[in-house]
Structure 1
Amino acid sequence: MHDLLPLAVSATAVLITFLYASWQDLRTRTVLTITWYPAAAIGGIAVLYFWYRQFQQPTAITISILAISLIVCIMMGGFAKAGMFGWADAKAMILLAATVPVTPFAAWIFPSLALATLVNAGIIALIVPAALLTRNTIRKEQAPFWLKCSGMPVPGETLTRHFGFIAEEITDGDPITRTFLPAASSIRALKKNSALSIRNLRESPEKFTRELELYQRCGSIWITYGVPFMIPITLGYILALLGFSLPDAVISLLI
């Protein structure tokens, strides 16, 4: 591949966008649609020039890379529409596949930059459950296994400083009764203005005064601590840009 400078510009624009999107996602659990527009415009111009130069002397590799990029874009759009993938994460992967088909900073990686990024992100995302399980085991915290892998107890008075969802049903009384909620409770909390959502508690404290007081009286309360997938995607993208692909690494070990 030659004339990779346009892709370097596009890759940098995408990286800046991913970093900003990660910050938004971590802070508010949403990414504004306008976030993707600057990188799409810059990357669109750059990738058109890149493909123009490549198809002056097309090769099988050139055609296969273009085909993979198109397949990833269609696949991610389909996953998001089917509810299997968040729209912000899908838009990030579509932006990446469309505007940075190969890394300009390292050799070509298998099967593509976008797919290597996605696999890298999946592996990185597994670090969080492992870290939480280790923490909770060392501290001898008592909770269902799934919650030990996805959450931790936090002080009630600092609850709104955290991100995630309440993982216990608290009933006021003397004494206060507590019951662990099922894993699906956080999904239901996303679909309605629920007091289980820490974001709702933080943004509308006047609406949830009673709940906040009750949570503080508990001393500590279990929450599910979900790291936005946009963050692993960004880290996976950085690794892929530098030429690290988990599929490549596995294949190299098998050969």
Structure 2
Amino acid sequence: MLESATEPEPEATEPPPTRREAENVTAPRFGGTVVTIAGAVATGPDLLRLVAVPVFALVAYRDIETRRVSSTVWIPLALLGAVLLCWDARLAWAAGGNAWTYEFLIPTAISLGLVVPIAYLFWWFGGFGGADAKALLVLAVLFPTFPEYALGSWTFPLAGPTNVGTFSFTILTNAVLVGIALPLALAVRNAAAGRIAPVMFVGWPISWDRVPETHGRLLSTPAGLSRAGLDLDALRMYLRWRGLSLAELRDAPERYRNPATLPAEPNSPTDGAVAADSQTRSDGGALESVADNETPAAESESETRPADYDDPWGADAFLADIDGSAYGTTPETLREGLEVLADEETVWISPGTPFLVPVFVGLVIALVYGDLLLGTLF
């Protein structure tokens, strides 16, 4: 009886190399599939991406202190991100399979095709400042896919990648959640201090003498509290343009309401930053009826009120003289802010939340935990 022939068993095939295994071929100068630095194990590109953490910490600090971040900060990070993106592309291509399609190509397409337009549109419509938009653009290039770091028995991010797999989108959603939490924390702080007001979620009261060194927006107006008050950078621009300090303006408000006291040669208004380099002539202007060698007499309460002037405080003249806009300030907003600051001892201000701070916090949370929203809900 003939025995039936059996088909030979197929030879076992090895699975395609993973993205990190592929690094052993494409980046031999790192001496292996992964790199270990200070106990942290990751691919070369992922370790280099950690350079962004101290840089974003620095720009967040600068954003709090000066509200100014130089554009030159973003150029090296953008170049680094482009290099690492190409490096990851080679690793993913060498690994093939899901590593190329689902771990690299799709997340990168979402990062560049969604996060970048979001950053641009928010900047275009005024939701972001220029530095905020540039930060998100850099993150979209630098962190398109989820990195992975092993430290002992721990693997970070702890929650792992999301179904979307786009790390820059995770950073953005984390930043938004942090940005939402900050007003709530501010309201709790104000309530604990007994400061109950409609604007308690966005600001707090300070003494008038702190205003020249404070960033943000004046919430106090002659009609009450409002979120449409005077930008404090615009206030500093005005005072520098006139060569005045806020204390001098408060000492003689009736005098400086008169547009005849505007200086014949105004100073440079600078950009209104607290630390701006400004060399001003501090005469503040003089009344046309007062001789050069005379001292103006003290004003009485019965003297001309602002409604009697065509241009109280010289607000129209200031905005017409400077190059560009004083952060969207109108003459009426400037006058109302000056009226409040000339009389009130304590005013409400909103510091505004520098968005680079939530972005930095969102980046750190993303690297340690992952996606706060999706990682918690799913």
Q: Aligning the two structures, in what range does the TM-score lie when normalised by the shorter sequence?
A: 0.7 to 0.9
- Deviation at residue 45 of structure 1 after TM alignment: 1.6
1:44 to 82, 85, 91: 82
CA distance in 2, matches of 1:203, 1:13: 39
Query: Could you say if the C-alpha distance between residues 126 and 247 of structure 1 is closer, same or farther in structure 2, counting changes exceeding 3 Å?
Result: closer
Q: 1:164 maps to which residue?
A: 216
CA distance in 2, matches of 1:25, 1:230: 7
Contact between 2:205 and 2:346, CA under 8 Å: does it hold in 1?
yes
Query: Could you say if the C-alpha distance between residues 84 and 163 of structure 1 is closer, same or farther in structure 2, counting changes exceeding 3 Å?
Result: closer
Q: 1:100 maps to which residue?
A: 143
1:66 to 108, 112, 115: 108
Query: Could you say if the C-alpha distance between residues 203 and 232 of structure 1 is closer, same or farther in structure 2, counting changes exceeding 3 Å?
Result: farther
CA distance in 2, matches of 1:235, 1:137: 25
2:53 to 12, 15, 23: 15
Query: Could you say if the C-alpha distance between residues 81 and 244 of structure 1 is closer, same or farther in structure 2, counting changes exceeding 3 Å?
Result: same
Query: Could you say if the C-alpha distance between residues 137 and 247 of structure 1 is closer, same or farther in structure 2, counting changes exceeding 3 Å?
Result: closer
Query: Could you say if the C-alpha distance between residues 48 and 83 of structure 1 is closer, same or farther in structure 2, counting changes exceeding 3 Å?
Result: same
Q: 1:133 maps to which residue?
A: 187
Q: 1:236 maps to which residue?
A: 362
TM-score if structure 1 supplies the norm length? 0.79
Secondary structure of residue in 2 paired with 1:149: coil
More helix by share: 1
1:78 to 118, 121, 124: 121
Superposition pairs of residues 65-214 of structure 1, within 5 angstroms: 65-71=107-113, 72-101=115-144, 102-105=146-149, 106=156, 107-111=160-164, 112-143=166-197, 145=198, 147-169=199-221, 178-185=222-229, 189=231, 194-195=234-235, 200=237, 206-209=243-246, 210-211=248-249
* Count of residue pairs brought into register by the alignment: 234
Rg larger for: 2
Query: Could you say if the C-alpha distance between residues 228 and 201 of structure 1 is closer, same or farther in structure 2, counting changes exceeding 3 Å?
Result: farther
**Matched residue type, 2:183:** P
Query: Could you say if the C-alpha distance between residues 54 and 212 of structure 1 is closer, same or farther in structure 2, counting changes exceeding 3 Å?
Result: farther
Query: Could you say if the C-alpha distance between residues 135 and 243 of structure 1 is closer, same or farther in structure 2, counting changes exceeding 3 Å?
Result: closer
CA distance in 2, matches of 1:162, 1:84: 21
CA distance in 1, matches of 2:47, 2:237: 40
- Deviation at residue 70 of structure 1 after TM alignment: 1.4
**Matched residue type, 2:244:** K
Q: What's the CA shift string for 1:136-160, capped at 9, x where partnerless?
A: 22332253x1x11101111223333
- Deviation at residue 208 of structure 1 after TM alignment: 4.3
CA RMSD, Structure 1 to Structure 2 (Å): 2.7
**Matched residue type, 1:126:** I
Contact between 1:157 and 1:216, CA under 8 Å: does it hold in 2?
no
Gaps of 5+ in 2: 1-18, 24-42, 150-155, 254-340
- Deviation at residue 94 of structure 1 after TM alignment: 1.2
2:371 to 228, 242, 245: 245
Contact between 2:217 and 2:349, CA under 8 Å: does it hold in 1?
yes
CA distance in 2, matches of 1:103, 1:13: 13
CA distance in 2, matches of 1:41, 1:124: 28
CA distance in 1, matches of 2:371, 2:242: 44
Larger RCO, structures 1/2 (Cα 8 Å, 6+ apart): 1
